[in-house]
Amino acid sequence: METIKATIITCSNCGFDQFFDVSKKFKVCPSCSNTIVMRTLSGGELNDIKNNMKLAGIAGGDFAYSDYRTYSLTVEEIRELKKIAREKKKAIAAKAYKIHKGKKPMRLLTS
């Protein structure tokens, strides 16, 4: 049976959980904007990351260090997770619809 590996990191600054592409060395947290790096990186790797961030025009600040968890997921498990996410989204939309007395709530635009 074919599986894929999903790596989850937790921002040590704000606690936000998110997927992490292990081929990359860092990620900017969408919740607090800190730069998340793996706790296992060496000092040389951290300096390389800082240099790459400067070249990419990403404002450097303190690093938020993260441990990580890796899960092996089958295709069926991924389909089930997607189904749960769709049902949750529908339930939230139904609740918002009810709160707004049958009127479709406006979507907030983000930049």
CA 66 – CA 49 distance, rounded (Å): 15
20 domain-assigned: yes
Domain that holds residue 16: 3-74
Six-digit token string for 90: 């529908």
pLDDT > 50? residue 111: no
For the segment 18-32, the average pLDDT, to the nearest whole number, is: 81
Residue that is written with structure tokens 């990620």 in the block:
27
What distance lies between CA 70 and its chain's CA centroid?
A: 14
Report if residue 24 sits inside a domain: yes
Number of structural domains (the chain) is 1
Question: Confidence band (pLDDT; 50, 70, 90) for 93?
Answer: confident
pTM: 0.51
Q: What is the pLDDT of residues 49-90, one digit of tens each?
A: 777 777 777 666 667 777 777 778 888 888 888 899 899 888
Is 11 among the domain residues? yes
Residue 83 forms part of a structural domain: no
Is 81 part of a structural domain of the chain?
Answer: no
Lowest mean pLDDT among 26-40, 41-55, 86-100: 41-55
Report the Cα–Cα distance between both ends of the chain, in Å, rounded: 42
**Structural domain includes residue 66:** yes
